[in-house]
Amino acid sequence: SKQLRLILGDQLNAGHTWYKEKSDDVLYVVAELHQEASYTRHHVQKVCAFFAAMQAFAQALESAGHRVLHLTLDDTQDFASLPELLTHLFIEHNISHFAYQLPDEYRLRTQLAEFCESLSVTSSVYDTEHFYLADEQLSRYFKRDKRHRLEHFYRKMRSEFNVLMVDGEPQGGQWNFDSDNRNKLKAADLADIPKPLVFANDVTGILARLERHQIKTIGQADKQLLWPVNRVQAKDLLTFFCQYCLPSFGRFQDAMTGKLIELGEDRGWSLYHSRLSFAINAKILSPKMVVDAAIAAFEQSQGAISLAQIEGFVRQIIGWREFVRGIYWANMPQYAQLNHLQAKRSLPSWFWNGETKMRCLSHAITQSLTYAYAHHIQRLMITGNFCLVAGIDPDEVDDWYLGIYIDAIEWVEMPNTRGMSQFADGGIVGSKAYAASGNYIKKMSDYCGDCAYKVTETVTDSACPLNALYWHFMQQHHALFASNPRTKMVYSNWLKKTDEDKQAVLERARQVLDNIEQL
Ligand code: FAD
């Protein structure tokens, strides 16, 4: 009997038990699908990265002696959906059993589950063997609608997987080193920022296919894709990170600079971040492999990498990444509809071209279009914060984030965007709305210096729009946030203002919102 095993584009895990044995009766299928290239408007580099990585994976499997069918958009163009393609392949290859790995996305998981119900051949489903927590373990940690807190989950994960632990206690005697981290970059720090390791993967064939099939994309294309698309490149990037970025990872985790890019240098856009998210999300690297490599580098560094740096990094992977996945699966499909703050405004059109006078937003958006990448604090505190305080519809915000980033897959994109950054889940993922005025951006970046707007002003025509928007937002949602211990303080400052001052601020906010396209 013949078995077809489907490998989705984000299931490129070479360590999976599937590949431990070889059999001529097993046919692996890796397919470029119209449905996947078009369910949202993706960044062109993102489609290129997935397609190139799938091709490399198919080749590697084949070289290892497996039977592999790699299909391009040309081969799959006659099939409107994945089920249609599979049905056709079952007949063509005389398949009697269908196997797949659990998709991480609700849409695909539902599609394949429904497909299997209607099948005449037998089917089976496997774990992806990628995450620290297996799929079936998630319900032990996460409950629908419940407010979960990262810190609590993170400590459990550290203990359970014995990561940076000594005799059952956290290494260094504390779980969290945030207070040692989060420095601003001073002018003198800029010279030390490493030039990112980039690759030059030839994607001309893929670009031609996207053109031929009229796949609508966003962002800047390059014939040489800089993202890692195979295991060797991904491991090289991991080694590069451990050597050049990890020593300052936590310290400058929240810092932002526009200076180097303005000087025309091709560094400064990812600072000390790893840029491993695509390789991990496509499962080219496992999170455990990344964490183990980083901890080994820390241990061998003889103090050059401090505990605060490695702890900050480990927290992102065994903490945040596994955490948002748990939130996603406990709350889908309802999560995708949540709009707790009832935000309704449209996303300004300059989100698609970066043409705004607000320097922070112009930088974050232009960089996203150029590299399909922005680091966490740009996503959360620049673009995310603007959408939050301007009351942009979370459906549109989700759609933008899901399209534009190299690492954007719904299970990780949505809890971060709709939840953490837009508070549209009412606090399931985070304990407060990450709303900020221009002052936060001034503190953490060098964007405000040469901005057309003045960050020190609130009500004038040239005032930083974020200042009035911030107060407008806080005032609008007073009933919701005034009782929250993490935002209570803010209101005492608002209440200290005279009625006249309050009116002037709200008037400026209205003016900003009325002219949102021209900011
Ligand atoms: P680093 O700063 O080097 O961090 C190391 C790794 O930790 C990342 O590669 C990633 O795997 C993991 N990580 C860090 N923060 C998070 C987080 N909050 N949630 C989950 N994993 C995390 N990440 C995605 O992978 N896909 C997304 O679509 C995505 N959308 C986001 C949307 C918003 C609004 C925000 C605020 C964050 C989003 N993130 C997303 C999380 C985070 O910003 C990216 O993982 C990170 O910027 C990727 O760059 P890096 O690999 O250089 O990360």
Q: Of all protein residues, whose CA lies closest to atom 49 belonging to ligand 1?
A: 275
Q: Are 407 and 227 in contact (CB under 8 A)?
A: no
Residue 347: closest CA among 279, 410, 395: 395
Mean pLDDT of 23-46: 96
CA of residue 240 to ligand 1 center, whole Å: 18
Q: Give the atom of ligand 1 at the shortest distance from the alpha carbon of 420.
A: 36
CA of residue 415 to ligand 1 center, whole Å: 11
- Cα distance between residue 414 and residue 403, in whole Å: 12
pLDDT band at residue 431, thresholds of 50, 70 and 90?
Answer: confident
- Cα distance between residue 31 and residue 87, in whole Å: 14
CA dihedral angle for residue 173, residue 416, residue 268, residue 435, rounded to 10 degrees: -90
- Cα distance between residue 278 and residue 270, in whole Å: 14
Q: ipTM value, please give it.
A: 0.99
Residue 477 parent element (H or E): none
Ligand 1 cavity residues, CB under 6 Å: 270, 273-277, 280-281, 316-317, 320-321, 324, 375-376, 379-380, 384, 401, 405, 407-408, 412-413, 416-417, 420-421
Please tell me the predicted confidence (pLDDT) of residue 178: 82
Distance between first and last Cα of the chain: 64
User: Ligand 1 pocket: which of 276, 277, 322 to mutate (most atoms <8 Å of CB)?
Assistant: 277
Point out which residues pair with 29 in neighbouring strands.
Answer: 6, 69
State what percent of residues in the chain have pLDDT above 90. 93
Half-sphere exposure of 302 (CA within 13 A, CB side): 0
CA of residue 421 to ligand 1 center, whole Å: 12
CA of residue 187 to ligand 1 center, whole Å: 26
- The CATH code of domain 137-331 reads 1.25.40.80
- Cα distance between residue 401 and residue 416, in whole Å: 10
- Cα distance between residue 195 and residue 216, in whole Å: 31
Q: Of all protein residues, whose CA lies closest to atom 41 belonging to ligand 1?
A: 376
- The CATH code of domain 3-126 reads 3.40.50.620
Residue 278: closest CA among 390, 382, 409: 409
| CATH of 349-518 among 2.40.110.10, 1.10.579.10, 3.60.20.10, 3.90.1170.50 | 1.10.579.10
pLDDT band at residue 4, thresholds of 50, 70 and 90?
Answer: very high
Please tell me the predicted confidence (pLDDT) of residue 182: 83
Point out which residues pair with 424 in neighbouring strands.
Answer: none
- Cα distance between residue 97 and residue 121, in whole Å: 6
Please tell me the predicted confidence (pLDDT) of residue 179: 80
User: Ligand 1 pocket: which of 407, 414, 417, 425 to mutate (most atoms <8 Å of CB)?
Assistant: 407
Point out which residues pair with 395 in neighbouring strands.
Answer: none
CA of residue 148 to ligand 1 center, whole Å: 19
Please tell me the predicted confidence (pLDDT) of residue 1: 64
**Before 333, cis peptide (omega within 30)?**
yes
CA of residue 363 to ligand 1 center, whole Å: 18
Mean pLDDT of 260-275: 94
- Cα distance between residue 359 and residue 351, in whole Å: 13
Mean pLDDT of 259-265: 91
Pairing, β 97-101 against β 3-7: parallel
CA of residue 458 to ligand 1 center, whole Å: 32
391: alpha, beta or left? (left if phi > 0; alpha if psi -120 to 50): left
Higher pLDDT, 494 or 229: 229
Give the start-to-end residue ranges of the domains of the chain: 3-126, 137-331, 349-518
Q: How many helices (H) and strands (E) does the chain have?
A: 24, 11
pLDDT digit string, tens, across residues 40-87: 999 999 999 999 999 999 999 999 999 999 999 999 999 999 999 999
pLDDT digit string, tens, across residues 393-403: 999 999 999 99
pLDDT digit string, tens, across residues 316-327: 999 999 999 999
pLDDT digit string, tens, across residues 436-475: 999 999 999 999 999 999 999 999 999 999 999 999 999 9
**What's the mean per-residue pLDDT of the chain?**
96
